[in-house]
Structure 1
């Protein structure tokens, strides 16, 4: 194969055999892991070895007998074939085909072994801001859904039994596509689909001679060829039986393979899914086209490969329309499996989907152990019906993402955000101690004002920086804006803000119009802690990026799978932490404890302590351990002891652990993840009043061209990506790094 052929995920033995067959004409390199179940008993193995020597002479005779039996079965009468197929009525009632060939040996081989080849998609690292997200990482097990880590797990499929509206999938064993006299098909439509699959696989085409309600006759498209199939019904039954099958071709293989009208995307999609490879989010249309061309000899253009991959994914995951139809039943099953779960489904007067809201009971019961800062954001969906995924998140005491609620709406506007916050208010009541962080979307600001009038709103400083970088020039001024936003003391902010006004009056006016109460620490009216950006929301969007093209039920199920894994892993991790404070806070305090030894401490009174640096006291701060305050205001904002508070606590023999907020304790972390996120139990029936609720897809206007899967990068992201790394200093004497000429050991 071509040296630039993309990697393909091989998921079963049939796909592996198809690729190995290419070794006859192509140079192939495969990386395959095969697992075969064996008996551990040594006595059984020894007996099998002895038996294999005795039966070696009998294998040839058994193969000859099997070939004779196959020939006799193909020449059997119609009555005998129908009697044999009558035993398979049970499989027809389950919706599967019983028109199968006699390749039993291949089926046994497929049941004995399987192969797996994993493809890892490595994600890029995001800039770390004030969120301290790296402090909470476990040294043994890391969060697999973080955008800074590679994705190592394939997407799990969601199955719902006895659900209506599922995509009509041809359920047949692809290893037995051969035709035979006596095969039975439920309708003529099923027979036609089997013939198309058969002809595309064997690289030829057919013409239809007769097609009516009772008879269907096809022949090879080449004139004079003897290949022919005749099928007809029996009595009043709509089932078709193959009466005549001439399997031999009288035409040349080069002539009959010149036409492939039946190689449509839906047929190729099913062949690709069952024979060639995976249909996961990492698969690209180019790899699908190359694999189909090599195996079936069909010329594939890009758009045909794209449609083929789309059809294969719909067979595996269900159509977008199927997702909306299953949505009421899925929400009911989620509520039944997870107590205290809140779900809302909004449909219009025509029964068409508008909004859906989902908050798992584990998140509802775990939020009281979180700091009262909620980060909200929205990201676009790239499925057929588009839409926007809204998220509400918090950050736990270990500086990890804690999901609260999710919603799917049509777009980000006043109505959708107002509806989302109205549903969120059921879980998180409006109160003065609550802070909501978001971007500068006008609809978010209006909705917070209407639904959460008592809460304090803050904007993401990262989005503010992007706007400044696109409108104003000057690196020095840009650095001053970042320093002003992160200042803890009012005097420091006023000094930097005056400097910004002197350098760029227009930028100063823009920052004032943006409202300093929204983007600065010092003027923020509520408790913002360390959350200055919406980075945790962007990380969540990245973790769910693989599901944004799925139907709506698959999106919600992907969220459920992710949260089930997160709660299980973090529950074990929280219980394993032996310290009183969380791992993230312990790691943060480690550096502050070391730095606190360089400070000089002097008592003022029973509550106040003077802490200064150096003999001259160029940096002097006053700490009040009773009120947990410091003049640097870092202790006041973060609720974690600053360097000065640690030095004062050590001098007064006060426990530094007692100075931290209880939200940073390991017991709070374990309580937050005490409950589990359970999957749906598809074995339990859905009530008729729920199953009969109709939810139709919304009206959309499909844009021309291929949907965009990646958003356009902002000016700040482009600038950071093109930023040249700082040159490492080397010694002028020995040309080594880590020291200079004055301290050179040579």
Structure 2
């Protein structure tokens, strides 16, 4: 019989002998508890079944039965039972609280049925799982005398029965004390009747007519009781995985082949949804366990900052999370913070706000995350208020974002001293959608990246001559926000919010999970990143980071072709050949060059490298300390630890209310992809650039001038 077969209450020895005869048909495990009612001098026997084990009878008071079992004999091995089996109930079975449960004293005992053992199988969909599924499904049945703790347990067993025998039933009576179902085909005698036992809420099967008198062609025409929840349980435990790559069509095909149930797309979709909720937890459970999760994260990671805001009814509003490793590592980053938001596609929607930086090796450095209802004035103001606790307001701080009005208002109200810049990529998308002309679009990109004021002025005047409307739009966008030359602070090489888009891409698989699983996915990702980048930082042999070394390698090669002349003790003239137009003046003491690249990037430009070599100055000393490998090691010095669930949680934390937000679920299938702008569509449809090959050797990576042939 199945692992989770409920206990059966036997009132006489004839029924007991009938159940013992099952030993001839199936290999089962039998656990018998006999209690004596002294008032009426009647006995009651409790039988609990399990499969794939030998039978074991604890004690029997039926003197007429002379059979024996492998574990304990009923008559001939009575003396052995005194050593192995105690009087009354076995010590292994003292505290059965529900059907199919093993006692807490000895859960691993091979003589006892484990609780819902089928839930512990892997989800690989292997042949072994299908064999176990066939074994479990073939042994599911109903018997008179079975006891179920609730009507839900009984309904679940009946629905599994319909999947096994491919039929359906209608509920004839459903009251707090009685439950009657019958076959849905009129005139069929298949019937189950169960009722409560005394004042208990448990239901006991009283009548079970197992024979169908209808045709199989009629009763198999409907499978209404094969609900997505029941099919989801079976799919998760036996048929396949429930990862983000699984699609409803795959689930429908697997269930149809295994159980013969016709699955349309929406039933497959709901089955996959329930399966994932069984595996990952429901959205409501995520909000309920959110306070406990934040407490465990703070306890496992010192210096971690978490904030949870709820309304007067205990409903969720905002949550903020910044790991201690990020808080203590940010001082070794350049003071540029990139913020953005991305939508969540779970049941309660919401928006994930992120604040990131970039380390000296040009890698993403996560700082803080928040889940809010949507991107509006209140949510962004709250987010920046929490972020200010970690990153104080400073004139040297720069915040990069898109052109969202709420972000601009929040930065203006919270970060009064910081400089704000907008993402040039978002600006390009707006221009491409509103204005035409490839030449003007190329000039806008060139103007945004200029280092010198004279170059910007010339390009901006050219834009005005070609497209006056575009020139007016760029002026209204405020040149201090989108141009490098007019930016009041230091934004280094960060002109876009691409690092945030990359983070959103990395978390795309988690955006449909419940809120705790979203935060845990962030924690797992950051734990892996910090561990890998810590080892990578320690393994870098050079003084500067690997990314900076790669960047400067090309500049060092180009600097050898420049002509250098000394002007005075601090200034050096650098030019290409005899051309006056390429002349630049470098001041190594103040770390400035007339090209302005040295000053903006805090890395030596090609002219500074040539001047440093001419004046015998160490070129590494010209780089900002943020690009040193020592800073990189210090940034990732701390680890991000998982929550220790073994530690007790205070009652005040467990009792803290956190209900789901009150929202209206939109009809239809949830949208998981946003609408793409014209620039994104154009880039996707753009043909890949042809790789250049040398015409001498026909190999790529070099040209004929540098060919070794």
Q: TM-score range with shorter-chain normalisation? A: 0.7 to 0.9
In the TM superposition, what whole-angstrom CA distance separates every residue of 1:91-129 from its partner, at most 9, and x where no partner exists? Answer: 965997579xx9999x99999998589xxxxxxxxxxxx
1:496 is paired with a residue of what secondary structure? helix
1:586 has 2:549 as partner: yes
What is the CA deviation profile of residues 219-257 of structure 1, one whole-angstrom value per residue up to 9, with x for unaligned ones? 544567665555454443333345666656565543432
Equivalent pair of 2:49/2:113 in contact (CA under 8 Å): no
**1:82 aligned onto 2:47:** yes
Tell me if 1:405 matches 2:368. yes
**Which residue in the other structure is 1:27 paired with?**
none
Compared CA separation, residues 582 and 517, structure 1 to 2 (3 A): same
Q: Partner residue of 2:468?
A: 505
> Structure 1's 214 and 367: CA in aligned 2 closer, same or farther, altered over 3 A?
same
How far does the alpha carbon of each residue in 1:294-342 deviate from its partner, in whole angstroms, 9 at most, with x for none? 2222222222222222111111112212211111111111111111111
| 1:80 positional shift | 4.7
Structure-2 change in CA distance of 1:92 and 1:575 (3 Å) = farther
In the alignment, is the contact (CA less than 8 A) between 1:202 and 1:296 conserved in 2?
no
Q: SS of the counterpart of 2:583?
A: strand
Aligned to 2:456: 493
Contact 1:98 1:185 in 2 (8 A): no
Answer whether contact 1:74 1:181 (CA < 8 A) is retained.
no
Which moves more between the two structures, 603-612 or 479-488? 603-612
Select between 89-98 and 196-205 the one with higher mean Cα deviation: 89-98
1:668 to 604, 619, 631: 631
What does the per-residue CA deviation read over 1:261-290, in whole Å, with 9 as the maximum and x for residues that have no partner? 202222222222223222222221222222
| Aligned partner of 2:276 among 294, 313, 322 | 313
Structure 2: which 5+ residue stretches go unaligned? Answer: 4-20, 35-42, 51-88, 104-110, 127-134
Q: Residue 239 of structure 1 corresponds to which residue in structure 2?
A: 202
| 8 Å contact from structure 2 (residues 573, 586) kept in 1 | yes
- Aligned match for 1:283, one of 239, 246, 249: 246
Is this contact kept in 1: 2:124–2:240, CA < 8 A?
A: no
Query: Conserved in 2, the CA contact under 8 Å of 1:197 and 1:271?
Result: no
Distance 1:568 1:587 in 2: 23
- Which sits farther off after the overlay, 196-205 or 673-682? 196-205
Matching of residues 540-555 of structure 1 within 5 Å: 540-555=503-518
| 1:273 alignment counterpart | 236
Q: Which structure has the larger Rg over C-alpha atoms?
A: 2
1:427 aligned counterpart, secondary structure: coil
Q: Counterparts of 1:176 and 1:736 in 2: how far apart (Å)?
A: 67
Report the secondary structure of 1:705's partner residue: coil
**Is contact 1:732-1:741 (8 Å) kept?**
yes
Give the aligned partner of residue 674 of structure 2: 711
- Paired with 1:739 and 1:563, the residues of 2 have a C-alpha distance of 39
- From 333, 338, 341, the equivalent of 2:304 is 341
> Which stretch has the larger CA shift, 79-88 or 394-403?
79-88
> Which of 392, 403, 412 is residue 449 of structure 1 equivalent to?
412
- The answer to whether structure 1 residue 608 and structure 2 residue 593 are counterparts is no
Corresponding residue for 1:357?
Answer: 320
Contact 1:575–1:670 (CA under 8 A) maintained in structure 2: yes
Distance 2:179 2:616 in 1: 94
The 8 Å contact of residues 649 and 656 in structure 1, kept in 2 or not, is answered as: yes
C-alpha spacing 1:343/1:65, structure 2 compared with 1 (3 Å): closer
Secondary structure (helix, strand or coil) at the match of 2:389 reads helix
How large is the Cα RMSD of the aligned pairs? 3.7
1:692 paired residue number: 655
**Partner residue of 1:569?**
532
Which residue of structure 2 aligns with residue 23 of structure 1?
Answer: none
Aligned 8 A contact 1:74 1:180 in 2: no
**TM-score of the aligned structures, taking structure 1 as reference length:** 0.77
Distance of aligned partners of 1:115 and 1:325 in 2 relative to their CA distance in 1, 3 Å threshold: closer
Equivalent residues in 2 for 1:507-526 (5 A)?
507-526=470-489
Paired residues in the alignment total 627
The 5 Å alignment of 1:418-437 reads: 418-437=381-400
Give the TM-score taking structure 2 as reference length: 0.80
Q: Distance in 2 between matches of 1:673 and 1:743?
A: 41
Offset at residue 185 of structure 1 (A): 2.4
Q: Secondary structure at the match of 1:378?
A: strand
Whether the 8 Å CA contact 2:125–2:241 is kept in 1: the answer is no
Q: Which of 1 and 2 has higher RCO (CA within 8 Å, sep 6+)?
A: 1
Q: 1:693 to 1:494 in 2, by over 3 A?
A: same
With over 3 angstroms needed to count, the CA separation of the structure-2 counterparts of 1:90 and 1:378, relative to structure 1, is farther
